[in-house]
Amino acid sequence: MKTYEIEKTLVSEDEVKRIVERLGAEITAHYGELERELMVIGLLRGSFIFMADLVRQIKIPLVVDFLTLSSYGDGTISSGDVKVVMDLDSSIEDRDVLLVEDIVDTGRTFGKVIRMMRNRNPRSLKVCTFLNKPAARLVDIDIDFRGVDIPNEFAVGYGLDYAQGYRHLPYVGVLKID
């Protein structure tokens, strides 16, 4: 794999920590006491690091589950055609569900997932994203818990990839592609 240097930092490791703590506190305060555990659902693979950090900042009982999607048909250009590659383990009917994404870009992926999840009749459905790119939005999404807005640049790190690499960076940066 060809590797590239990071051109600039968009969200430093310290900022990541502060954002995740704030989101955890907001989510904890919002739900208060639930009858059953909160179901926190992460969209793989991008959300895996954010999920791991976020759930440790949520101070109410919860369970986690994951959904794997592919938003690209055979090509490399987003078709907006989202397919479920690996579905949830459990039913979300009558449950309080929090969907967790790494980034909302055009909003196509999250838009489809939200609709798909609503059809399964959860008791409540809220959405949380770590990064938000408002300038790229094509599909309107109500984000209940938002980490940070970033400019319309290709971000890597903290779960986000370029050709599957760079996910492990503890901060979010932009690649210098020459």
* Residue 46 in the binding site for Mg ion (CB under 5 A): yes
178 tagged catalytic: no
40: buried, middle or exposed (CB in 10 Å: 19+, 13-18, 0-12)? buried
Selected catalytic residue, list 53, 96, 102, 105: 105
* Residue 103 in the binding site for ligand IMP (CB under 6 A): yes
What is the helix (H) or strand (E) element at residue 55, kind and residue range? helix 48-55
Q: How far apart are CA 115 and CA 85, in angstroms?
A: 17
* Residue 71 in the binding site for ligand IMP (CB under 6 A): yes
Through-space distance between the first and last CA atoms of the chain, rounded to whole angstroms: 15
With respect to Mg ion, which residue has the nearer C-beta, 24 or 159?
159
* Residue 157 in the binding site for Mg ion (CB under 5 A): no
* Residue 151 in the binding site for ligand IMP (CB under 6 A): no
Choose which of 6, 22, 106, 146 interacts with ligand IMP (CB under 6 A): 106
Q: Is 7 helix (H, G, I), strand (E, B) or coil?
A: strand
For binding to Mg ion (CB under 5 A), which residues are involved? 46
List active site positions: 105
